[in-house]
Structure 1
Amino acid sequence: MYFLAACLLVVVLSAAISYRRSSALSRTPQGRLGAFLPLFCAAAIGLGLVGFDRVQGTQEFGPSATTDLLMLVVSFVGGWFLGIIAGLPSDKLP
């Protein structure tokens, strides 16, 4: 129960931060690339966690610490994506 609350908190905080960041940085091409920097970092961490889980081999049935960390990374990416979409200027939307 507490872990799901933590994931929800990560989604909300990353959405709020990326919303502010995307609205401030989307004026220049370098700023748009800067808004995508957290996604690249989260993808690298997620791939590292998946690789670490594969190296560990099989474990007992149930969630492991690696799976929990991967879920937090996915929560961050989801919140980041929602914040970027919300922070787009209205004239750029179709």
Structure 2
Amino acid sequence: LAVRMQGIVLLGIFLKVTPFSEQAGMSDDEVMAGVEKALRKYFGRRGEAVVQANLDAVKRGHDEVIELPAEVIALQVNSPKFNGASDLITPVFAAQQEA
């Protein structure tokens, strides 16, 4: 995703990990319909491609967010035992394979 889309991706993540839809009594489809309506209002004059790109970014944030395993959260990045990014990535990929 482009750097400029990070904020809109966070909207999708927010909608997934918070109890927003549950407290609003809305299904995921209803929430996404509301998001699409808002995006069309805000970005509509810029064209369908812009609306669709933003909607896709929200949906990807919602659908692709993962929970980090506790061992990743507990890693001490400045520890002599830390071997770099692979120490962070390997447990995440392992958790995805188990899901």
TM value normalised by structure 2: 0.34
Larger radius of gyration: 2
Is the helix fraction higher in 1 or 2?
A: 1
Q: Relative CO higher for 1 or 2, CA cutoff 8 Å, sep ≥ 6?
A: 1
